[in-house]
Structure 1
Amino acid sequence: MDFAVQAADAAVTLPVGQLLPIGEETVGRLLGEDVEFVYRNAEYLLWGAVISVLLTVTSILLGFLAGFPAGAIETYGSGYSRAFVRKFGVLLRGTPILVIMLVTFFVLPYGIVHGAVEALLGALDFVLGPTPFTAAVDVPGAFVAATLALGFRSAAYQSQIFRGALQSIDEGQMEAARSIGMSRLEAIRHVIVPQALRRSVPGFQNEFTIVLKDTSIAFAIGLAELLKRSEDLFIEQTTAILEVIVFISLLYFVLTFTTNRTLDYVNNRFAIPGESS
């Protein structure tokens, strides 16, 4: 069963009339049959946007969990660890995301991670009791594979964002922290990292937007995100192609605009005092 359809069934179902208060016939009479077709299938496309957002969140989270340690290793590590992280990052950044996604889905044993995700949902269901989400949603393998591909590719870029942020902190702050008795690790953790995270927000904002748009590549492995659902509509009615493209482009714009404005607020809210935002 489709992931978005399961999520929709798990949620409170609203009559179409409440989601689309204007009648389809009225839209068709005023704007034409093609716009009426898009209007009639707007809810179907909106659930695709929900999948795109969920995929963005999981990919960015995975990218952060892998990218921040990688950036720290490139900055403070030495020997084989630094060389490995650098070469692996160059490999991921130099490979097209479509290739990474296809290799992840068709070659790598992503089923191990898929099984772990299902086991986690089962554990939550056991601990918290039956919930509509964990009981109804069966995470598809394509979603897990897309998360791994987008997440590790994002980690390769986030590592450079965090590496630059860490290196931007003046060396005198490390010396000052050591002079009051902190170890090197304590100085990095309590002095360097908090400032570096704040300085990395603008770069992280750009990466978030890129990952959000790159979720459209997941259509290549059959994930029912926004672009794949648009393709389904193309097959059903080809005369509304332009209207469908305009509608999904508007959805992507709303998502990226909202994300950028939110991260602008975060950047201004947590900017280091005395530095220009």
Structure 2
Amino acid sequence: MLSTAAVPLEASLLEEYATTYLGEDWESAVDNVEFVLDNADYLLWGAAITVALTLTSILLGFLAGFPAGAIEVYGSGYSRAFVRKAGVLIRGTPILVIMIFTYFVLPIGPILDAAEFVRRALEVMFASTPVPVPAEVPEAFLAATLALGFRSAAYQSQIFRGALQSIDDGQMEAARSIGMSRLEAIRHVMVPQAMRRSVPGFQNEFTIVLKDTSIAFAIGLGELLKRGHDLFIQETSAVLEVIVFISLVYFVLTFGTNRLLDYLSHRFAIPGETA
């Protein structure tokens, strides 16, 4: 039976072996890992910004993408043509170009003024509650949200369009035959089923937006990748260790959100259909 004294002895022998045969590389790797762990809180704050940017972008994408998908299916000729052409333009433009445009070209000032108005309204509404209200919205965060959100809306519109078109036309006719208007039939019959059927596609889009938040590095937003870059500029020998840590954080975030959305997909699947 191995004694407790043998454990630190074996550890010291392993360290001595590694130092002997790997030399300075081993010592440097250990120092780099310690450097990353010492600055883990700095990187995790970047991960919090990444999560916040993902949520705001997905929400904006949903608020713009779902109506766009419905217009493509049920809209009139002019509105449908406009939505389709706008979607093709946004989907065909690299996200980096969109983000640089929103940050350096788009007038952020009026948008920030509107955000400040909303913030003050929330402060009035929730003055007696513990709901946190951000004191300031950085321009880079707002620009990144607009870029990622509208790019996501262009893709989410296709997810919802496909989900709406997958529902049999007979259901619309049945709803109209019992006295529902076209709008009521869309709202109460078609949309609930489309929302359920769109969860798998939405899951994929959520993962894409989460990873694309790293593009905000180009406009200086202090998200996870930008903070990692700051660290390996400070300690140039720790590039690999920082990248590995960042990759693990992204993996945990994507794995966790995918498992959650898998659960939602099965939980809200239409009875009789495979989620």
The answer to whether residue 248 in structure 2 is matched with residue 268 in structure 1 is no
Deviation of 1:88 after TM superposition, in Å, equals 0.3
Shift of 1:119: 2.1
| Structure 2: gaps (5+ residues) | 1-25
- Identity among equivalent pairs (%): 75
Whole-Å separation in 2 of the counterparts to 1:186 and 1:129: 37
Q: In the TM superposition, what is the alpha-carbon distance from 1:79 to its structure 2 partner?
A: 1.4
Query: 1:124, CA displacement in angstroms?
Result: 2.2
Q: Partners in 2 of 1:74 and 1:124 — Cα distance?
A: 34
Deviations 1:244-266 (A, max 9, x none): 00000000000000000000000
Which residue identity lines up with residue 56 of structure 2 in the other structure? T
Q: Distance in 2 between matches of 1:258 and 1:115?
A: 35
Q: Distance in 1 between matches of 2:126 and 2:103?
A: 32
Deviations 1:73-98 (A, max 9, x none): 00011211111000000000000000
Where in structure 2 are the equivalents of 1:48-197 lying within 5 Å? 48-129=46-127, 133-134=132-133, 137-197=135-195
Larger Rg: 2
CA shift at 1:111, angstroms?
2.1
Flag the 1:192–1:127 CA change in 2: closer, same or farther, 3 A.
closer
Report matched runs for 1:200-215 at 5 Å.
200-215=198-213
- What's the TM-score once normalised by structure 2's chain length? 0.87
Find the partner of 1:36 among 25, 34, 37. 34
One-letter amino acid of the counterpart of residue 91, structure 2: R
Report the CA distance between 1:133 and its aligned residue. 4.2
Q: Secondary structure at the match of 1:181?
A: coil
Code of the aligned partner of 2:36? V
Cα deviation digits, residues 166-213 of structure 1 (max 9, x gap):
000001111111111111111111100000000000000000000000
Kindly tell me the number of residue pairs found equivalent between the two proteins. Answer: 249
Letter in 2 for 1:230: G
Tell me the residue number matched to 1:238. 236
Aligned equivalent of 2:18: none
Secondary structure class of the residue paired with 1:212: helix
Shift in alpha-carbon separation, 1:184–1:128, aligned structure 2, 3 A: closer
Pairwise CA distance, 1:122: 2.2
Runs of 4+ in 1 over 2 A off after TM superposition: 28-31, 122-134
Q: Quick one: distance in 2 between partners of 1:274 and 1:128?
A: 43
CA offsets, 1:258-277, max 9 Å, x none? 00000000000000000012
CA distance in 2, matches of 1:132, 1:142: 24
Counterpart of 2:9 in structure 1 is: none
State the shift of 1:129 in Å: 3.0
Cα separation, 2, equivalents of 1:128 and 1:43: 30
2:64 is aligned with what amino acid?
Answer: A
Distance 2:246 2:116 in 1: 31
Q: 2:231 and 2:39 mapped to 1: Cα distance?
A: 8
What is the CA–CA distance in structure 1 between the aligned matches of 2:256 and 2:146, rounded to whole Å? 25
Residues 131-189 of structure 1 show CA distances to partners (whole Å, capped at 9, x for unaligned) of 7943x742201100000000000000000000000000001111111111111111111
